[in-house]
Structure 1
């Protein structure tokens, strides 16, 4: 008998059977569309040698498809109440292991070392809760994990920000942080109607291919990100005003002007118009007056 929970009726049945109630505080929305689940797995380009880290398996709908394509799936689920449901839906999937802990507190390097071999091609695949999307993505990107990439379903608005180019409304410090470390590409838009319960907004599936080398070279990475964050602090303000209000003291105005003049960046521009390469040039130049 088909044990898949990729259909609304099957998901509803298993939820009723275990008297499970959705917690809004955990951002729980279960995907119940087989075609979309298959497309998510397809976007990860898994092979029989692939290892997968899944975040928030829920009732196990995506996990079931991942387990059919990958060598091993290691899932992280924060909600202990899902234990009996996952025990049922994954009972015939011997290549799945579930850790019942918060992914943000997990030592992922240690888990990868323990659960996968050095030859494994590792992907992260997840339907992320909206409320922790950014911290989870930044942890995955900055922990220097041995992963090939990340395929996640997130709020459409956030996906647009990750992929945004200079001058676009969605472009900001998150766009730069993600593009500095990976190459993001939106794979598909997912309507809110294919979830239970339905969220208020549509979602997107985005693939982040991890860069072997960072997009730009900078002298001081921490300072580079301070410059970026300061430049976007108030979007309607000029680069000069934002840097003076959020990174430098007013006494540094003349020095700031001189530095920007030297590297041909107009202080009247807004942060959203600068490319990642220009931010790299700016942060390196500002090192001498910080």
Structure 2
């Protein structure tokens, strides 16, 4: 049966039949606007040669659109209360497979190798709860998975930070991390009225095109990201003070390293470019 998963009453009836109540702790808000998911699926640009790894299928409204377009969709869902719901709403799609568990703890390399290995490329699509947006995105990127693209719906404020221009006031530690692994852009915005229950903020769908390899030759990625994280730990302070307080390096060493790179000691974390951090990490470590 082809359920209209964007119809409020239909979704409410299906959820009630399985005794489901929304969990604030899991940040659950399901899409009920019938234009959002088809647009997301179209913009992911998949076909039968593409495998899709989906994170957080919910009741399957986006999953269904992905199944119509992709060769196979493997969806990871944490909430066991939704397992019987998904079995019902996606029963008509034989190219759908559910993986039960926490995306932060599962062996994603193993899942892709076992379930999506025969496809020309693998892309990730997700509608993430706001509270785990950055951790999940970084898990996907830092894992260096064999994926070409990540399309994800996140809180609008988070989208602006994730897609900010390096060197701008909006940039943060996660902005640098995302830019290291890929190229990000905001695709379109989604109003809060498009969800049930309605959240207090609007959302945006972003795309991260994953780089085959980083733009810069980095000797030690862990040290680089430690440096960036410490730099933004106290972003209202100068970079020298922020690093001296959190990195365990003296102000003299930091100032000297900046001087070698032609950077003023009064600079703040958001003013540095990616290459500046790469070079600074090489000098300080």
* Partner Cα distance (2:21, 2:243) in 1: 47
CA contact (8 A) 1:156 1:204 kept: yes
User: Once the 2 structures are TM-superposed, how far is the Cα of residue 155 of structure 1 from its aligned partner?
Assistant: 0.8
Structure 2 counterpart of 1:260: 258
Q: 1:35-68 CA distances to partner (integer Å, 9 max, x unpaired)?
A: 1111111121101111111111111111111100
Structure 1 counterpart of 2:274: 276
Structure 2 counterpart of 1:241: 241
Q: Judging changes above 3 Å, is the alpha-carbon distance between structure 1 residues 230 and 204 closer, same or farther for their aligned structure 2 residues?
A: same
User: Once the 2 structures are TM-superposed, how far is the Cα of residue 2 of structure 1 from its aligned partner?
Assistant: 3.8
Structure 2 counterpart of 1:146: 146
- For structure 2, the residue ranges without an aligned partner over 5 or more in a row are none
User: Once the 2 structures are TM-superposed, how far is the Cα of residue 231 of structure 1 from its aligned partner?
Assistant: 1.2
* Partner Cα distance (1:257, 1:194) in 2: 50
TM-score (norm 1): 0.94
Q: 1:253-284 CA distances to partner (integer Å, 9 max, x unpaired)?
A: 33332222111011111011111121112112
- For structure 1, the residue ranges without an aligned partner over 5 or more in a row are none
* Partner Cα distance (1:239, 1:225) in 2: 15
Q: 1:170-217 CA distances to partner (integer Å, 9 max, x unpaired)?
A: 211000001100111110111000000111111110011100121322
Which structure 2 residues correspond to residues 179-258 of structure 1 after superposition, within 5 A?
A: 179-249=179-249, 252-258=250-256
CA contact (8 A) 1:155 1:201 kept: yes
Q: 1:216-246 CA distances to partner (integer Å, 9 max, x unpaired)?
A: 2222211111211111111111111111111
Structure 2 counterpart of 1:128: 128
* Partner Cα distance (1:208, 1:258) in 2: 35
CA contact (8 A) 1:4 1:89 kept: no
* Partner Cα distance (2:25, 2:7) in 1: 24
Q: Judging changes above 3 Å, is the alpha-carbon distance between structure 1 residues 230 and 10 closer, same or farther for their aligned structure 2 residues?
A: same
Q: 1:117-159 CA distances to partner (integer Å, 9 max, x unpaired)?
A: 2443111111111111111111100111111111010111111
CA contact (8 A) 1:159 1:206 kept: yes
Structure 2 counterpart of 1:155: 155
CA RMSD for the aligned pairs? Answer: 1.4
Which structure 2 residues correspond to residues 26-65 of structure 1 after superposition, within 5 A?
A: 26-65=26-65
User: Once the 2 structures are TM-superposed, how far is the Cα of residue 167 of structure 1 from its aligned partner?
Assistant: 4.3
3-state SS of the aligned residue for 1:34?
coil
* Partner Cα distance (2:12, 2:154) in 1: 23
Aligned residues: 285
Structure 1 counterpart of 2:110: 110
3-state SS of the aligned residue for 2:125?
strand
3-state SS of the aligned residue for 2:25?
helix
Structure 2 counterpart of 1:88: 88
Q: Judging changes above 3 Å, is the alpha-carbon distance between structure 1 residues 255 and 82 closer, same or farther for their aligned structure 2 residues?
A: closer
